Amino acid sequence: MSQWFTTSDFSLPTLYTFGNAGGYLVRADGRHNADLSLHKFFSIREGQKLDVRAEFFNATNSVSMGNPNATFTSASFGQVTSATPAREIQITLRYVF
């Protein structure tokens, strides 16, 4: 589906008048996100540790679409043109002494 809503139902109001569409008329689908972090300290010697951390952003790799374009004069009016990024993983090692 290329349009999030029926764009032919909208038109520009007469100059210097208000339209009849209410505020917050266009809403996107719900968004959900699950981030995960794992953290572990390893003792190497007295006073020395290795800190390992793994972080997963959007761990379930779910797609959450962005808001539809609500600018009437735009060529992409009514279209969703963005989404949340795919899963990102960040691993960190830190030597503490």
What residue segments make up the domains of the chain, in order of their start?
A: 7-96
Cα 13 to chain centroid distance, Å, stands at: 33
pLDDT given for residue 1 in this prediction: 52
Q: Under DSSP, is residue 94 helix (H, G, I), strand (E, B) or coil?
A: strand
Q: Considering only CA atoms, which of 54, 82, 58, 55 is closest in space to residue 68?
A: 82
If the chain, 97 residues long, is cut into consecutive pieces of 10 residues, what is the mean pLDDT of each piece? Answer: 74 84 74 89 93 94 82 84 87 95
pLDDT given for residue 11 in this prediction: 83
| pTM score, whole prediction | 0.59
Q: Under DSSP, is residue 9 helix (H, G, I), strand (E, B) or coil?
A: helix
CA gap 25, 9 in Å, rounded: 13
Note whether 58 and 36 are within 8 A (CB). no
